[in-house]
Amino acid sequence: MRLFVTGGCGFIGSNFIRYVLEHYGQTSISNVDSLTYAGNLENLAGVAEASGERYEFYKADISDRARIDALFERHQFFAVVNFAAESHVDRSIDTPGDFIHTNIVGTATLLDSARKHGVRRFLQVSTDEVYGSLGPEGLFTETSPIQPSSPYSASKAGADLLALAMHHTYGQEVIITRCSNNYGPYQFPEKLIPLMILRALADQPLPVYGDGMNVRDWIHVEDHCAAIIAALLEGKPGEVYNVGSDGEMRNIDVVKMILAHLGKPESLINYVPDRLGHDRRYAIDSSKAHRELGWKPRHQHEQGIRETIDWYVRNRAWWEPLLKRQ
């Protein structure tokens, strides 16, 4: 089985590639990434040497139809796994056009080209942010209304709906996963957990939006990767699968956990004006994925976050060059 993985040099994509190559010995991967600011070849250091002909990399923009067609002609692919996306909410507020280009136009290009070249399955990696904001109770299910609050989440919602339309119109075997907030190794430093870790290590102020009471459901990236491969192999075409870990935490509690683990004072916390359109709470009902895919998360989130902190402490050689590029 050969997979066409897009955005494989990003945080989740690179962890997925490592996970598949380690656990699925008969699977090969063609990784396509345009290497924008969050795409980093160092995320996959050693993979090509360890995997030989099972792994190959191509630099390409997923909205470039001619280039994507040419890459699909190199192999007979079982599936596309589309991680490629502009994904930071703050950046989407500043430059929404970039998100429309990659997340919608790029996804449309991939869907059309995959169908043209007889690729059997297309897995669209999405986000729980397409559902908008929850109140203090309840969980997002796969039938929750789509109510995106930012240009980022709106672009992901548009891509999801486009992918589902390709299934209903053409019978294309599309599957969508919508995951909660990921954490783990190789996450770009602009995201909450690595940003707070690196600023705490440097004894710099830790910026916390608003009152810090926004709630997110945290999942270890390896658990997310396991859910994606389960959905790819066991999921039903035309279906959406929510992926979460029942790991709800307030942002301020995550920040305080990081400070405590590093032995840093809470006086480093700096409350800043809230983000525009900041969703208050996300929480995921993953029972459908448990029931239909046989998947369940393995990592306990508080321990997983502590292990992630330790990874960043040990891997300065990975993140210090990224800080210089920002």
What's the rounded Cα separation, in Å, for the pair 263 and 200? 9
Residues annotated as catalytic are: 128-129, 152
Other Cβ atoms closer than 10 A to 271: 14
Q: How far is CA 312 from the centre of its chain?
A: 19
- Please identify every stretch of the chain with a pLDDT value under 50, giving residue numbers as ranges: none
54 burial type by CB count under 10 A (0-12 exposed, 13-18 middle, 19+ buried): middle
Tell me the HSE value of 313 on the side-chain side, using a 13 A CA sphere. 13
Tell me how many domains the chain contains: 1
- Cβ atoms of 311 and 174 within 8 Å: the answer is no
**How far from 326 is each of 5, 37, 85, 184, CA to CA, in Å?**
26, 8, 19, 20
Write out pLDDT tens, residues 268-293.
999 999 988 888 999 999 999 999 99
> At residue 80, what are phi and psi to the nearest 5 degrees?
-100, 135
> Looking only at Cα atoms, what is the longest distance across the chain?
57
Please report the pLDDT score of residue 136 as a whole number: 87
Q: How far is CA 326 from the centre of its chain?
A: 20
Other Cβ atoms closer than 10 A to 16: 27
Please report the pLDDT score of residue 127 as a whole number: 95
What CATH number does residue 244 fall under?
A: 3.40.50.720
**Number of residues that make up the chain:** 326
Residue type (1 letter), 300: Q
Please report the pLDDT score of residue 296 as a whole number: 96
The model's pTM: 0.95
Residue 69 belongs to what domain range? 2-325
> At residue 324, what are phi and psi to the nearest 5 degrees?
-70, -25
